[in-house]
């Protein structure tokens, strides 16, 4: 079994405001990583960041805003 150490590591998770992405972010923070989450909805990202790390020390976030014209 491979055991990785995440202390002093940064993990970037797309879609980190819900579902599998948020669950993964929670686990990485528990393992000592700093986690950057991104997504499309600012309020959802803020809520997820607070839930993932209530101290606010390990979860920066960024908002992706883009438009696709058909």
pTM, rounded to two decimals: 0.78
CA 66 to CA 25: how far, in whole Å? 23
Note the pLDDT of residue 51. 92
Whether 2 is in a domain gets the answer no
**Count: domains in the chain:** 1
Buried-exposed string 35-58: b where 16+ CB fall within 10 A, e elsewhere: bbbbbeeeebbeebbeebbeeeeb
Residue 70 has pLDDT above 80, yes or no: no
pLDDT digits (tens, 9 = 90+) for 14-42: 889 999 999 999 999 999 898 998 888 88
Residue 42: per-residue pLDDT: 85
31: Cβ contacts below 8 Å, ≥ 6 apart? 5, 6, 7
What is the domain extent for residue 32?
10-63
């Amino acid at each position: 079994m491979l055991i990785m150490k995440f202390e002093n590591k940064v993990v970037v998770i797309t879609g980190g405001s819900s579902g599998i992405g948020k669950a993964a972010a929670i686990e990485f923070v528990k393992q000592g990583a700093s986690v950057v989450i991104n997504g499309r909805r600012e309020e959802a990202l803020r809520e997820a960041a607070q839930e993932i790390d209530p101290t606010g020390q390990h979860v920066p976030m960024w908002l992706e805003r883009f438009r696709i014209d058909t």
